[in-house]
Structures are given as structure tokens and as C-alpha cells.
Amino acid sequence: MAGLGDFFENGVAKGVVIGLGMVAAGVVLAPALRPVARAAVKTGILLFEKGREWAAEAGETLEDLVAEVRAELAEQAASTEGFEAAEKTAAESNPKG
């Protein structure tokens, strides 16, 4: 049967003592660390909001770029259609045909 000495030798006791110490330290230090935790949360919220703004601006820039490219493609298609229509008309009116 395992004795009390084995309990202290295998490290379980060490883990329990460290865990209890962390809980006690947390209870004692929580009031002192509250302002630091609030500042960290506040900074996180501000960074998150700034990131959302940057993402929205990037999205708008991308939308503008896509709109410009679509307009350019539509213009090219219109000029190509006009050129093809002119060639067709010229070919139809050419008696050599």
C-alpha cells in the first residue's frame, strides 16, 4: 500500500501545492491586477475596432477597383462590337464579297 511518503515523492503533491498557491495568489492579486486587465481589454477592443475600419476601407478599395475593371471591360466590349459591326457592314457593302 502506498504511504504518505510516496505521495510527496511522486510530484502530485508538488502540483497540488502549486495549484493552490496560484488560486491563493489570484485571490490576493486580483484587486491589484484589475486595472491592468481593464487596460488590456480596452486596448484589445480599440485594436479590434481599428482592424474593422481597416478591413472596411480595404473592401471599399477592392470594390472600386473591381468596378473600374468592369467598366473598362464593358468599354472594350462595346468598342469591339462596334469594330466587328463596321467590318460586317463593310464586307456586306463590298461587291467583291
What cell numbers appear for 29 in the block?
492579486
Q: What is the pLDDT of residue 43?
A: 95
Residue 81 above 60 pLDDT?
yes
Predicted structure pTM score:
0.48
Q: Which of 15-19, 29-33, 84-88 has the lowest mean pLDDT?
A: 84-88
- How far is CA 25 from each of CA 14, 22, 33, 55, rounded to the nearest angstrom? 16, 5, 11, 41
